[in-house]
């Protein structure tokens, strides 16, 4: 295992220490491993909390800031945060207008966020609404999931719900927007290499030279099938075929296209893949309304990518375009 | 070789195609492989052109936009662009106030930019000033370089000179600022793995399990020495010792600290490394005035990082903080 770390047991805590210094506009609660907006709680604004296992950076800590998340809980690598962390995050962002939990659909995350919501309600009466994201069309159930896994749509839901909360919309509306983003999004990924969890020290799975895993999960969970490594234009077709089959594009709405790198794939390849994805979409008659290309939801140093399509309307586009100021996404401010 | 590409010969052209779609605010001259600001040439503003081999994305195309570069020339992977590309870039950004060439110190780049400047002067009379960046303390000469190599300071020079040009400062002053940034910057990098140039198909060099290359170049050129993989805190000391030895910090100026990922290193490790770098700097009495953490000057999928220190003053800080709107760096607008 070759990594820029010290003791594998300290990776998350030490990475958060660096994040806190690099981004003084954030406030990191180190004992609870929660990244907060510096000005949290924002009075009268719906607070938005997300979180999950570490190893997916910049998700979620890199999405904390104006126009996106109010707090993010960092679990151990590929392991759900515990309810106490989520309680600290929720009470810390409660500005009196309620709190939205944005939860990726993994069994541990869902269970722990549920428990945290109950604890908070019992202790303080804070209203919490949870929205579970499950946009991955690759598999119906998986190693860590009942139902579909939550992947790229999480980033889009955090941005769009975050913009709505920043505008002062009420909790029911912010939550409904997050549900809408999830309902209108589909994703699929591919891995060219495995990744190595620091505490394990060896690759999560074995992927021989010349093969790739189509439908990979963000923790290296098995996908749909192993196939020989194919040209990018064929990979784009493999990823988009099941996405388009599951998403109704007959209404003429455009797509927000999110081409995400898994961590170990260089940007030169991501832009190339994005070009191929757009060609497939053009053939399918889907218009690209907005795009996001980069490594935003990673699996440590895994090589590969995922594609997420969100069927947008004017309200979603305005919220996507609204100002955001976080370490990883920043525009308009 | 596992890459998300089609034919290795088409990687640069196809990646630029994707970049152009993802960033409609830019204008890509595909035959010349030049990325322009959409509004170039900007009347009365000094134009800034950079460029170099591809494979270092987001450098340089990802730094084109308001407050940074006016154009970037993309060579083949790890190969200098040719003078014709640089001529197209230079004439395309000439708004009547002259053009600055920001050139990394590699033999091919320096030679071709010189030739382009002569061609432009002869053809159109456009005034061109070149500033060569050579901030890498690792080796005195190398495989592709007479003198020190140009690495991380390039990003800082592009940002700071870009801000000065945006403010309307004259060519002599913009060029002098770029020279100042270079003179006050030092860098050093480390590789944990090699990278594979698509057209070669095999790793550029061999780096056995358990070893790392200290002082690596961004094309995989040999560094100072091979050593066993060490904890991050020791890596931070190895990188900073020669940087601090070569940079006069007695005046009490703070540092802009740029912790750069080589492409295959995940962000969780980069933040962790940044925390270690800051600890070493604190011991050395160097105050962190600003920071930048991320994969901005990569070597394809190489795992590793580099540290760049820039000794800042108030003017440099103001120019660093000035608005920038490019695909890879964006704030204040």
pLDDT one-digit tens code per residue, B257-307:
999 999 999 999 999 999 999 999 999 999 999 999 999 999 999 999 999
Q: How far is B118 from chain A (nearest CA, A)?
A: 31
How close B332 gets to chain A, by Cα (Å)? 6
Res A34: pLDDT:
98
Angle at B249 between CA B247 and CA B253, to 5 degrees: 125
Residues B179 and B191 grouped into a single domain? no
A4 assigned to some structural domain: no
Here the CATH number for the domain that contains residue B325 is 3.30.1180.20
Which residue in chain A has the smallest CA separation from B296? A267
Residue B1 included in any domain: no
A 53-92: CB under 8 A from B: 54-55, 57-58, 62, 77
Give the per-residue pLDDT at B141.
Answer: 78
Backbone region of residue A216 per phi and psi (left: phi > 0; alpha: psi in -120 to 50; beta: other values): beta
Alpha carbon distance B285, B279 (integer Å): 10
Residue A222: per-residue pLDDT: 85
Task: Give the pLDDT band of residue B143 (cuts 50, 70, 90).
Answer: confident
What pLDDT does B126 receive? Answer: 94
pLDDT at A203 > cutoff 80: yes
Domain shared by B126 and B206, yes or no: no
B26 inside 8 A of chain A by CB: no
What distance in Å separates residue A124's CA from the closest CA in chain B? 34
> Residue A210: which domain range?
185-331
Which of A184, A211, A238 finishes a domain?
A: A184
- Give domain status of residue B87, yes or no: yes
- How many angstroms separate the CA of residue B200 from the nearest CA in chain A? 16
Do A129 and A253 have their domain in common? no
**pLDDT over 90 (residue B101):** yes
Do A145 and A54 sit in the same domain of this protein?
A: yes
In this prediction, residue B122 carries a pLDDT of 93
Q: Which residues of B touch A229 (CB under 8 A)?
A: 2
CB-CB neighbors (< 8 A) of B326 in chain A: none
* Stated length of chain A: 333
pLDDT reading at A35 higher than 80 = yes
Number of domain units in chain B:
2
With respect to residue B94, please indicate whether it lies within any of the assigned structural domains.
yes
Q: Quick check: A107 contacting B, CB < 8 Å? A: no
In this predicted structure, the answer to whether residue A234 has a pLDDT above a threshold of 80 is yes
Residue B300 confidence (pLDDT): 98
pLDDT band at B174 (very low <50, low <70, confident <90, very high): very high
Per-residue model confidence (pLDDT) at position A110:
98
Which of B167, B184, B201 terminates a domain? The answer is B184
Residue B56: active-site member: yes
Q: Is A219 a catalytic residue?
A: yes
Q: Is residue B4 part of a domain?
A: no
* Candidates A1, A3, A4, A79, partner chain B, best to mutate (most B CBs within 10 A): A4
Q: Does A317 touch chain B (CB under 8 A)?
A: no
Q: Domain holding B24: CATH number?
A: 3.40.50.10440
To the nearest whole percent, how much of chain A has pLDDT over 70? 100
Q: Which helix (H) or strand (E) holds A163?
A: helix A153-166
A173 and A78 assigned to the same domain:
yes
- Cβ-nearest to A267 among B14, B21, B58: B58
DSSP string, B41-67: SPTTSPEEEEEEEESSTTTTGGGBSBT
Instruction: Yes or no: say if A158 and A50 are a contact pair by the CB < 8 Å rule.
Output: yes
Same-domain check for residues A285 and A325: yes
Query: Does any domain span residue B2?
Result: no
Which of B11, B271, B305 would you mutate first to test chain A, the one with the most A CBs within 10 A?
Answer: B271
Contacts of B209 (CB under 8 A, 6+ apart): A2
Let me know whether B178 and B189 are in one domain. Answer: no
Task: Report which of B324, B321, B304, B302 is spatially closest to residue B312, judged by C-alpha positions.
Answer: B321
Min Cα separation B15/chain A (Å): 4
Q: Residue holding tokens 């961590």? A: A263
Which chain A residues are closer than 8 Å to B273 by Cβ? 4, 18
CB within 8 Å: B55 and A16 = no
> Last residue of a domain, which of B159, B184, B209?
B184
If asked whether residues A179 and A192 sit together in one domain, one would say: no
Tell whether B179 and B189 lie within a shared domain: no
| Arithmetic mean of pLDDT, A266-284 | 97
Contact A270 B5 (CB under 8 A): no
Tell me what pLDDT residue A306 has: 98
User: In the structure, what pLDDT confidence band is assigned to residue B144 with cuts at 50, 70 and 90?
Assistant: confident
pLDDT, mean over chain A: 96
Cα distances (Å, whole numbers) of residue B31 to A220, B28, B61, B75, B116: 40, 9, 15, 12, 17
Residues A168 and A221 occupy one common structural domain: no
Determine, yes or no, domain membership for A287. Answer: yes
| Residue B48, domain member (yes or no) | yes
ipTM of this complex prediction, to 2 decimal places: 0.97
pLDDT at B333: 74
The answer to whether A58 contacts B288, with C-beta atoms less than 8 Å apart, is no
Subunit contact A18:B270, Cβ cutoff 8 A? yes
Reading the block at residue B323, the tokens are 């608005």
C-alpha distances in angstroms, A325 versus A26, A40, A329, B295? 11, 14, 6, 19
pLDDT of residue B275: 98
Specify whether A74 is located in the same domain as A153.
yes
Query: Does residue A251 register a pLDDT over 90?
Result: no
pLDDT tens readout for residues A152-195 = 999 999 999 999 999 999 999 999 999 999 999 999 999 999 99
Q: Would an 8 Å CB–CB cutoff place B245 in contact with chain A?
A: no
Of residues A2, A16, A272, nearest to B15 (C-beta): A272
Q: Are residues A161 and A196 in the same domain?
A: no
pLDDT higher than 80, residue B250:
no
As a whole number, the mean pLDDT across chain B is: 96
């Amino acid at each position: 295992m070759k990594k820029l770390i010290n003791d594998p047991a300290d990776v998350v805590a030490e990475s958060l220490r660096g994040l806190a210094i690099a981004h003084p506009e954030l406030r990191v609660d180190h004992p609870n491993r929660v990244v907060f907006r510096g000005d949290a709680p924002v009075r009268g604004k719906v607070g938005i909390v997300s979180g999950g296992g570490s190893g997916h950076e910049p998700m979620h800590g890199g999405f904390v800031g104006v126009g996106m998340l109010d707090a993010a809980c960092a679990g151990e690598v590929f392991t759900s945060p515990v309810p106490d962390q989520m309680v600290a995050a929720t009470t810390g962002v409660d500005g009196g207008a309620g709190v939205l939990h944005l939860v990726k659909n993994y069994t541990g995350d869902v269970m722990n966020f549920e428990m945290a919501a109950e604890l908070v309600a019992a202790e303080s009466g804070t209203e919490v609404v949870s929205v579970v994201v499950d946009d991955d069309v690759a598999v119906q159930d998986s190693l860590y999931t009942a139902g579909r896994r939550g992947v790229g749509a999480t980033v889009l839901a955090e941005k769009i719900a975050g913009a709505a909360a920043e505008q002062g919309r009420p909790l029911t509306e912010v939550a409904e927007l997050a549900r809408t983003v999830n309902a209108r999004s589909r994703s699929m990924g591919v891995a060219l290499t495995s990744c190595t969890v620091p505490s394990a020290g060896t690759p999560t799975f074995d992927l021989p030279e010349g093969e790739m895993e189509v439908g990979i999960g963000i923790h290296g969970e098995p996908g749909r099938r192993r196939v020989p490594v194919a040209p990018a234009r064929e990979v784009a077709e493999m990823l988009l075929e099941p996405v388009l089959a599951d998403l109704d594009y007959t209404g003429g709405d455009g797509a927000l296209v999110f081409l995400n790198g898994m961590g170990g794939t260089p940007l030169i390849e991501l832009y190339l893949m994005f070009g191929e994805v757009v060609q497939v979409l053009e053939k399918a008659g889907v218009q690209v309304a907005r795009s996001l290309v980069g490594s935003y939801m990673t699996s440590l140093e895994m090589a590969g990518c995922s594609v997420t399509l969100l069927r947008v309307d004017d309200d979603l586009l305005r919220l996507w375009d609204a100002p955001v100021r976080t370490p990883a996404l920043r525009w308009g401010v």
